[in-house]
Amino acid sequence: MEDDAPVIYGLEFQIHIIDFDDENNIISKNVLLHQVGEIWHISASPADRGVLATCYNRTADSKVLTCAAVWRMPAELEPGGHESPEDAASPAHALELLCHLDHAARGSTACVVWEPAGPGGRVVSLADNHVLLWDLQESGSRAALASSASLEGKGQLKFTTGRWSPHHNCTQVATANDTAVRGWDTRTMSQIYCIENAHGQLVRDLDFNPNKQYYLASCGDDCRVKFWDTRNVSEPVKTLEEHSHWVWSVRYNHSHDQLVLTGSSDSRVVLSNMVSISSEPFGHLADDDDLSDQEERRPEEKSQEPPQDSVIATYEEHEDSVYAVDWSSADPWLFASLSYDGRLVINRVPRALKYHILL
Amino acid sequence: MKNDFRKMEDEMDRLATNMAVITEFSARISATLQDRHERITKLAGVHALLRKLQFLFELPSRLTKCVELGAYGQAVRYQGRARAVLQQYQHLPSFRAIQDDCQVITARLAQQLRQRFREGGSGAPEQAECVELLLALGEPAEELCEEFLAHARGRLEEELRSLEAELGPSPPAPDVLEFTDHGGSGFVSGLCQVAAAYQELFAAQGPAGAEKLAAFARELGSRYFALVERRLAQEQGGGDNSLLVRALDRFHRRLRAPGALLAAAGLAEAATEIVERVARERLGHHLQGLQAAFLGCLTDVRQALAAPRMAGKEGPGLAELLANVASSILSHIKASLASVHLFTAKEVSFSNKPYFRGEFCSQGVREGLIVGFIRSMCQTAQSFCDSPGEKGGATPPALLLLLSRLCLDYETATISYILTLTDEQFLVQDQSPVTPVSTLCAEARETARRLLTHYVKVQGLVISQMLRKSVETRDWLSTLEPRNVRAVMKRVVEDTTAIDVQVGLLYEEGVRKAQSSDSSKRTFSVYSSSRQQGRYAPSYTPSAPMDTNLLSNIQKLFSERIDVFSPVEFNKVSVLTGIIKISLKTLLECVRLRTFGRFGLQQVQVDCHFLQLYLWRFVADEELVHLLLDEVVASAALRCPDPVPMEPSVVEVICERG
């Protein structure tokens, strides 16, 4: 897991790699310098642990441009490495630039998303109103533009965020611009679906349900989180209104998709249990082998109500707006949240719920 | 005296001998007359017998003459007298012949009687007579019952038909009162007569006869009721119940008489049921009327709010509109209560039926009408909160404010007033559960709270959009040195003032924290004092930035965390605080997303100072505004690669000028 603290100290822009040792509850930190500009978006390659892509601001001629580039971390700092943790005074390491993802039109790149599966050679970047699909060749040192699509329409359309769907053989990408969410097919770069007015105001983040193919979650400035079935985009399947200000990020748990994490600028992180729209709405069903044993128990089980959607917990450790939340890819019960004041909080799912879901 | 006694003795002796002589003479007379006496007796007997025989021989012709003359009663009497004798001597051929003749004639007589009976043009007493005679003739009673009833049915059905004709579309349909009068006088009184006559005539028939009558009455009665119900169902419109109640009263009253006569037919119960059903329908009708009136009021308010102000003439203020709405609803409720009260007036015949005394008052009026209306009012008001138009285009915010104040007033005073009024007028006499006043008040308060919250959201959104656009569309890197406050900030202050005035029309001021004397003159002392290092000079050593960040974090720990959306109280200051919190938070988030040049930062400084000068007086706790605005400027400073804040005195000058 890595996080960055967009703290501007003069012209120093840094990426902090934070190692969280689960058993001993120790946190150690390594610092990487990213001198080309202020980082606005960072994403790691799912295939290669040491590769990451950033979108950064570059100030040139009193204009701010957001560019995108792919980097490699120094090998000894790759996460999961068993190096002994350095102390805080270790010198900052440098990132090795692999390639730039620059579009000819010099638009502002809003974000870069990696292909979730496969050899990790493809990325999609969203620049202004273009969706750009890149092929990374020669282990990432060169990026060739494979295909692109544009959003036509009145006014200045600008993509704000995007996400690559892990289903359908990784051929779908969802993007958000203003209040609409669109789905694109990367093979043809055409629009598949469009959810107009997904939120009353700006859509801030998207996430796909890792277990259910057509489900998508979006959150926005209307303080709501909405869950959509992309086959029927006229109405959200579910709406959550737990926050009192803009919701900046929404994340599904990678394995148990009933756990949904949201972070908002009202300084709260909310963990919700969306059982009714998860892939296991009724919990574990009885196996066929156990049928004979459980004959008598069947009627009582059937009469039980399916567990209701609920808020599991609200985490209020932050003092300022929470801008990012994410789940650990190593331990499905661990998650982290980052707020404006640079505070990174790592939390666990409550044990009772964990055992309830597992058993 | 001795002489007297001697004379008396002599006289007594003479008397005795005279008596003996008289006795002897009398015996001699009777002996001689004895013979004659017997002969005369015999003659008298024979004479009587002969007279009887003469009667019998003349009977057929006499009967025929009677039948021709129509003196049926006499004929029947003759027949009655002769029957037994004829029966006894029918073995004698001559008597047999007479009997046969008589029978023929009697049959003809009966037939004629029946004919008369069937024709029926004659009135009931004559019919009763016919029936009597027929009974005396020995006709089987069940047949007569049937015929009698069939005949009565024919008459009553004609009545029903005429009633039905009144229901038809042919104009002009008479009003309900006339209808029930007609029905009552025609059908019901006819039924009464039939029932009375039947019971008199066929009283001897016992329970079987009574059963037939009951069945007859039930059937015809049900048809009558069906017609009455149809007519009543046509009585849809109008809030005025008086005519309807009178008609129902008449209807019910008329059916008391046959109800008593024909207890088994259940006519009275059926009538009561009809009246109950009509009453229930009327209640539902009134409820709908109240709801429509409420929606009408709301539409009027919306029109008044949307109407363009004519020059020089102020439109109706919010307080006035609110008063209008409240009074109009109250008057509608009172009118409905008054018109429904007619159902329970003392003069009305059904008003002391158990339904009307109990269930009607508690369940029908109190629960169904009043409580139902209040609940539907709350729901309608709440539906404004859920309207899909996120931009608030559908519902004018003033309407939200008005409705929330209305619900609040209802909770504090009006609900209990209305329910007390209802309870006074309709004395509840049964034990069915009723909604207590507190529940309704709680619901109304909840509605008011939701509406007010929504109002705050909507207004906050309007201002936030302005601020957001102002930050996002400006080029902060290449902006020039600020000379005045940006127009959008002035607009924000104006809008906030307007909202303050609007809310102030309906809500009380609320409590604010005591202001320090120099609040309006506050400068960025917080901004500069929290960074104890003085000017925020760019520094490359790692320690200094850490310190300032640490300081600001520590400061945040000790100051209260600002809850952007805390529950809104029912006063003006709380509402304004909510709106300003939302707007300033938006400004903060937008500022954190841009990069500022030096002059951009200074412009933000100037804008924030201006806002602080004017917004502090709207909020409950002015520290809040200071904190948020300081945070805005601090975030802007963090976003600036070259932060050189303006001198506070210059900032003040610009703001005062702007």
Determine the Cα–Cα distance for residues A121 and A47; give it in Å rounded to an integer.
9
Contacts of A10 in chain B (CB under 8 A): 538-540, 641
State how beta strands A247-252 and A180-185 pair: unpaired
**Closest to A245 (Cβ–Cβ): which among B557, B585, B638?**
B585
> Are B556 and A38 an interchain contact pair (Cβ–Cβ within 8 Å)?
no
- CA B553 vs CA A342, B139, B508, B531, B558: distances in Å: 10, 116, 37, 11, 9
Compute CA B79 distance to the chain's CA centroid, rounded to the nearest angstrom: 66
Contacts of A342 in chain B (CB under 8 A): 549
C-alpha distance from B638 to closest chain A C-alpha (Å): 7
Please report the residues numbered 298 through 357 in chain A whose beta carbons come closer than 8 angstroms to any beta carbon of chain B: 319-321, 340-342
Residue from A161, A239, A244 whose CB has the most chain B CBs within 10 Å, to mutate = A244
The residue among B241, B409, B258 whose CA lies nearest residue B322 is B409
> Are A64 and B597 an interchain contact pair (Cβ–Cβ within 8 Å)?
no
CA angle, B273 as apex, B270 and B279 as ends, to 5°?
150
List CB contacts of B318: < 8 A, sequence separation 6 or more.
B398, B401, B402, B502, B505, B506
C-alpha distance from B530 to closest chain A C-alpha (Å): 16
pTM: 0.74
> Are B539 and A222 an interchain contact pair (Cβ–Cβ within 8 Å)?
no
Residue from A11, A38, A266, A316 whose CB has the most chain B CBs within 10 Å, to mutate = A266
> Are A8 and B641 an interchain contact pair (Cβ–Cβ within 8 Å)?
yes
Contacts of B390 in chain A (CB under 8 A): 200-201, 222
Contacts of B639 in chain A (CB under 8 A): 8
List CB contacts of B614: < 8 A, sequence separation 6 or more.
B493, B496, B497
The residue among A19, A18, A15, A20 whose CA lies nearest residue A4 is A15
> Are B589 and A321 an interchain contact pair (Cβ–Cβ within 8 Å)?
yes
Residue from A243, A340, A344 whose CB has the most chain B CBs within 10 Å, to mutate = A340
Determine the Cα–Cα distance for residues B620 and B623; give it in Å rounded to an integer.
9
Contacts of B582 in chain A (CB under 8 A): 245
DSSP per position, B491-542: HHHHHHHHHHHHHHHHS-----PPPPTTGGG--THHHHHHSTTSS-----SS
> Are B553 and A38 an interchain contact pair (Cβ–Cβ within 8 Å)?
no
C-alpha distance from B311 to closest chain A C-alpha (Å): 36
Determine the Cα–Cα distance for residues A117 and A55; give it in Å rounded to an integer.
22
Determine the Cα–Cα distance for residues B390 and A199; give it in Å rounded to an integer.
9
Contacts of A57 in chain B (CB under 8 A): 595
List CB contacts of A164: < 8 A, sequence separation 6 or more.
A113, A114, A115, A116, A124, A170, A172, A173
- CA A14 vs CA A7, A255, B383: distances in Å: 8, 31, 50
Q: What is the tens place of the pLDDT at every residue in B216-274? A: 778 887 888 888 777 777 766 555 677 777 777 777 777 777 777 776 667 777 778 88
Q: What is the mean pLDDT of each run of 10 residues along chain A (359 residues)?
A: 33 70 73 76 78 78 75 69 44 73 70 77 80 77 77 76 82 83 85 84 87 87 87 86 86 86 87 80 51 42 60 84 84 85 84 82
DSSP, collapsed to helix, strand or coil, labels residue B265 as: helix
What is the b/e burial string over B470-494, where b = at least 16 CB atoms within 10 angstroms of the residue's CB? bbeebebbebeebeebbeebbebbe
C-alpha distance from A116 to closest chain B C-alpha (Å): 28
C-alpha distance from A66 to closest chain B C-alpha (Å): 12
A160 and chain B in contact, CB less than 8 A: no
**pLDDT < 50: residue spans in chain B:** 171, 311-312, 389-392, 517-546
Tell me if ipTM is over 0.85.
Answer: no
**Closest to B390 (Cβ–Cβ): which among A7, A200, A245?**
A200
> Are A341 and B556 an interchain contact pair (Cβ–Cβ within 8 Å)?
yes
CA angle, B137 as apex, B134 and B142 as ends, to 5°?
55
**Closest to B589 (Cβ–Cβ): which among A10, A63, A265?**
A265
C-alpha distance from B452 to closest chain A C-alpha (Å): 15
Contacts of B599 in chain A (CB under 8 A): none
Contacts of A7 in chain B (CB under 8 A): 545, 549, 638
C-alpha distance from A156 to closest chain B C-alpha (Å): 11
| Closest residue on chain A to B475 (Cα) | A63
* Contact yes or no for B225/B271 (Cβ under 8 A): yes
Q: What is the pLDDT of residue B388?
A: 55
Determine the Cα–Cα distance for residues A262 and A322; give it in Å rounded to an integer.
9
> Are A245 and B564 an interchain contact pair (Cβ–Cβ within 8 Å)?
yes
Q: What is the pLDDT of residue A77?
A: 63
A222 and chain B in contact, CB less than 8 A: yes
